């Protein structure tokens, strides 16, 4: 069956009665099935349940990314400082958002407005930089062409020095008489 996957994740602060005795089972992945046929209703529709009271691993024993997330969810309200082992990557962003969520609403708005101002300013600078690069590239191409044409004219003029007078060479190469005179020296 084609379609997008749908996940519902529930973080529970209680334990299911059915598995109360199994202390290692705190992650449940559940699919809906038809009661009559026992066929899965929609394979891409999944419920995930996390029984937080059963998760008791200390920080030092966390081995997987999943266990780190479980630790964070379970202990977020009681963490005084963010654990050193959880201050990189996605967790750094997560903790920054959690700190922001703790601010009073007016301070959150203030922060969001300053962030918007910063992003707008950064976009203006980036656009100006990109425009400057394009302009510089175009000017560089034009300057390169002009320099190439000038150098070609000088070479032609040097070849004609023994054959023609300064005025004739200047008229035919586009160089000034002064430049032709300097080439003769």
- pLDDT tens for each residue of 84-134: 777 677 877 877 777 787 788 898 888 888 888 888 888 888 888 888 888
48 band by pLDDT with thresholds 50, 70 and 90: very high
Can you tell me the mean pLDDT for 51-78?
A: 87
Judge whether residue 1 has pLDDT over 70: no
| Terminal Cα distance for the chain, rounded | 87
Q: Which helix (H) or strand (E) holds 181?
A: helix 177-184
Q: Count the neighbouring beta carbons within 10 Å of the beta carbon of residue 166.
A: 19
- Three-state DSSP class for residue 44: coil
Can you tell me the mean pLDDT for 6-23?
A: 90
> Which pairs count as long-range contacts for 88-92, CB under 8 Å and 24+ apart, including other chains?
none
Residues in the chain, total: 185
CA 71/CA 59 separation, integer angstroms: 7
Residue 50 and residue 26 in contact, taking contact as beta carbons nearer than 8 Å? yes
Q: Sort 70 into a burial class: Cβ within 10 Å, 0-12 / 13-18 / 19+.
A: buried
pLDDT score recorded for residue 47: 95
CA 37/CA 14 separation, integer angstroms: 31
Q: Select the more confidently predicted residue: 146 or 1.
A: 146
| Average pLDDT across the chain, whole number | 85
Residue of 74, 78, 6 whose CA lies nearest to 44: 6
pLDDT score recorded for residue 49: 94
pLDDT score recorded for residue 12: 92
Q: Quick one: how far is CA 105 from the chain centroid?
A: 27
Residue 53 and residue 70 in contact, taking contact as beta carbons nearer than 8 Å? no
As given in the structure block, the two tokens for residue 76 are 């977020």
Residue 67 and residue 52 in contact, taking contact as beta carbons nearer than 8 Å? no
């Amino acid at each position: 069956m084609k379609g997008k996957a749908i996940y519902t994740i529930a973080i529970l602060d209680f334990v299911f009665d059915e598995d109360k005795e199994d202390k290692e089972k705190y992650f449940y992945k559940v699919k809906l099935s038809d009661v009559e046929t026992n066929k899965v209703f929609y394979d891409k529709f999944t419920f995930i349940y996390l029984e937080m009271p059963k998760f008791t691993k200390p920080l030092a024993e966390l081995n997987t990314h999943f266990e780190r997330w479980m630790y964070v969810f379970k202990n977020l309200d009681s963490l005084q400082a963010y654990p050193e082992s959880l201050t990189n990557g996605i967790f750094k962003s997560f903790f920054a958002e959690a700190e922001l969520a703790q601010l009073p609403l007016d301070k959150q708005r203030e922060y969001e407005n300053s962030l918007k101002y910063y992003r707008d300013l950064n976009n203006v600078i980036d656009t100006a930089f990109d425009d400057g690069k394009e302009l510089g590239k175009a000017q560089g191409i034009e300057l390169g062409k002009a320099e190439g044409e000038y150098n070609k004219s000088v070479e032609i003029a040097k070849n004609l020095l023994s054959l023609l007078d300064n005025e004739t060479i200047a008229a035919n190469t586009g160089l000034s008489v002064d430049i032709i005179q300097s080439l003769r020296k």
